[in-house]
Amino acid sequence: MKTVLVDSNVLIDVLTDDPKWGDWSAEQIERLGDDSVLALNPIIYAEVSVGFERIEELEDALPSNFFARLPLPWEAAFLAGKCFLEYRRSGGLRRSPLPDFYIGAHAAVSGLRLLTRDGKRYRSYFPRVVMVTPEVDGDE
């Protein structure tokens, strides 16, 4: 089975029933969950946790029997830092989320597919990562 790293923006869409993206995100999770392992890493977990008061509530929303927990590879940390540096040197804002670079790097070094709504940035810095995005509609 292939593993798909599920970006926090997709999870937040579903958990908040986002009026624009909620349906698309829920459909992708359901579709990909049929033949793939859906996974999170600590960065994604942390970003989603902001919407919850207690860890038990977050665990109920993201059950570990549905979303595998993956550790962050050290190689991903190095790649994320290098990509973030390239971003900054090309005029990117300091406040830009380094976590996105870490998520992309994790997918890149681990050979994971990435389910995200933010395909443009990820494609710019991680062109070899296979992504499921609204623009592609999951056909990659």
DSSP string over 52-111: -SSHHHHHHHS-TTTEEE-PPPHHHHHHHHHHHHHHHHTT--TTS-HHHHHHHHHHHHHT
Region 57-74: mean pLDDT is 97
Q: Write down the pLDDT at residue 95.
A: 64
Reported as a single tens digit per residue, the pLDDT across 3-48 is: 999 999 999 999 999 999 999 999 999 999 999 999 999 999 999 9
Q: How far apart are CA 104 and CA 79, in angstroms?
A: 9
Burial class, 5, CB count within 10 angstroms (exposed 0-12 / middle 13-18 / buried 19+): buried
Region 90-112: mean pLDDT is 87
Q: Which long-range contacts (CB under 8 A, 24 or more apart) does 125-128 make?
A: 125/83, 125/86, 125/87, 125/101, 126/83
8 Cβ partners below 8 Å, 6+ apart? 43, 44, 47, 48, 99, 103
pTM: 0.90
136 pLDDT tier (thresholds 50, 70, 90): low
Q: DSSP class of residue 21?
A: T
Q: Write down the pLDDT at residue 138.
A: 45
